[in-house]
Amino acid sequence: MEQIYPEIPKEKLELAERQDVTHDQSLKTKPRSYLRDAFSRFCKNKGSIVGAVIIILLVLFAIITPFCTQYTVAYQDSYFTTTLPKAHLFENTSFWDGCEEKQAGRTSFIYYYAMGQETGHNAVKNQEFTYDAGTDLYTFRLDSYQKNGMIYKNFSMEEYEALQAYQTEYGKQVIYPMVPVKSRPQAQQDANDANYYFKTSGTSKTQIGPKELDENGNVIPVYATSAVKGDLDNGYHSLRIEGEDGFVNEKGETVWYAYARRTSSGVECRINYYEYYIYNHTQVLKDGITEPCFLFGTTMQGKDILTCLASGARFSFLFAIAVAAVNLVVGAIYGAIEGYYGGKADLIMERISDILSAVPTMIVITLLKLHMGTSSQILVLFIAFFLTGWIGMASSTRMQFYRFKNQEYVLAARTLGAPDRRVIWKHIFPNAIGTLITGCALIIPSMIYSETSLSYLGIINLSSGNITSVGTLIAAGQSSLATAPFITMFPSVFLILLMLSFNLFGNGLRDAFNPTLRGTED
């Protein structure tokens, strides 16, 4: 045998002392668990951190918002429809203040401008406008919260007295003088418009020209009057409009404004809807005055978008997590049995999976709806997603078991007499958990997207009672994209952020939990 090292002279060798002998030393660093190591790798991925933060914020939004808003999903107001988003923080600006830029002719402009003259609630924001003589158009910002102005409403005598008591106690003018029927516009839709309280002209009695304005350019009221105070309005005894305490009319008679019209069931009043909303929705002794304010605006049905979006998001999260959890449990058990035992058991179970996966989800949903009716839409959706949803998880588990079941540590466990159940759950399954967690994390946005798509198309109706869906909100605003794009904008932005953030988050989990990727970036 060839000698690699030359002979060393004896004089160059010396005996080593016992204390100079070097032995193996224990590790000075602390051991790291599998989960801690995975978390460390996850934190190195900045995109995944951003996705995780966005998901947390969206989840908090879905959980907390329904408890912080004064509205419910079932709430709707037929007068506050397609109301623009408004935040009190921007109330004195031209951004997010519930107003829209509008151009209108003389008659339409005065219609809105006169609301502020009568009540002080300015439909034309701050009563500010510009006039273009060339086009004969007025440019102004229209307040979507004040544009309803006045409405006619019937009250029972008890409701009438309660409203008067509220006015007297809190100094809030809600009821305003009536307009004689003969002075109202002739067109049926305009005759029921309580904002025509002033002198008009034309065949439809809606035109407003110079003759219909006083010397100061203001409209001329044409209120109903009575020679006896309270005679026509069934004893009105509350606040009266400013400057009205009995006056002499053109005939020299002392008259009073009539604040209600008697009906067979009570009285009809002309009320300012903004003030009536405050009266009707406020618990004065508990919560204080509650003015209408919709942070994300309202739908065409008068529903608060913020409340509906938060409630729909909460339902989507809970539903998707429930489906993902059930699919994970069933798929992991099914796939573990397939992959571990193999052979005929694997062959038979795979054919069952192939048959179920070939059934279209849409057919399943249709058949379930026909069998279960429309009262169990959530249950129909859950069964349809569960029926085939676990197959992908079972396939991933099966592949991981085929990968790890012949490893040395598994053979060692079998040699030592470990039962199959212990080998499966203590030795193989922990090594497959990374792939399963990643798959489960990606199932959640997939379920949310599928549920949103089905509710958007109207296949599943989730808009009953206090339940709604993000897809239902998007569908509700589809017909008003040109006039009220914010109805679809907010739920669409939520869905986009959710899909992108879950994609980033899932990629980070995959890199963190998959052992084969360890050290690839070092």
Instruction: Please give the structure tokens belonging to residue 411.
Output: 């053979």
pLDDT score of 517 more than 50: no
- More confident position, 27 or 322: 322
| SS3 at position 100 | strand
User: What is the set of domains in the chain, with CATH numbers?
Assistant: 49-63+303-517 (1.10.3720.10), 88-143 (no CATH), 150-178+223-281 (no CATH)
Task: Please give the backbone phi and psi of residue 87, each rounded to the nearest 5 degrees, phi first.
Answer: -125, 130
- Cα separations in angstroms, 510 against 232, 426, 515, 517: 77, 21, 9, 9
pLDDT of residue 17: 67
pLDDT score of 150 more than 90: yes
pLDDT score of 329 more than 80: yes
Average pLDDT, the chain: 83
pLDDT of residue 23: 61
> What is the edge-to-edge ordering of all strands in the sheet holding 124-132?
99-104, 137-143, 124-132
pLDDT of residue 518: 47
| SS3 at position 419 | coil
Please choose, from the candidates 336, 327, 345, the residue with its C-alpha nearest in 3D space to the C-alpha of residue 430. Answer: 336
Q: Taking residues 217-228, what's their average pLDDT?
A: 80
Q: Taking residues 457-482, what's their average pLDDT?
A: 83
Instruction: Please give the structure tokens belonging to residue 493.
Output: 């932005």
Cβ neighbour number for residue 104 with a 10 Å cutoff: 18
pLDDT score of 455 more than 50: yes
Residues paired with residue 213 on neighbouring β-strands, in sequence order: 219
Reported as a single tens digit per residue, the pLDDT across 79-114 is 999 999 998 888 778 888 889 999 998 889 999 999
- What are the helix (H) ranges across 282-407? 305-341, 343-357, 361-372, 377-404
Query: What angle (nearest 5°) sits at the alpha carbon of residue 490, between those of residues 486 and 493?
Result: 125
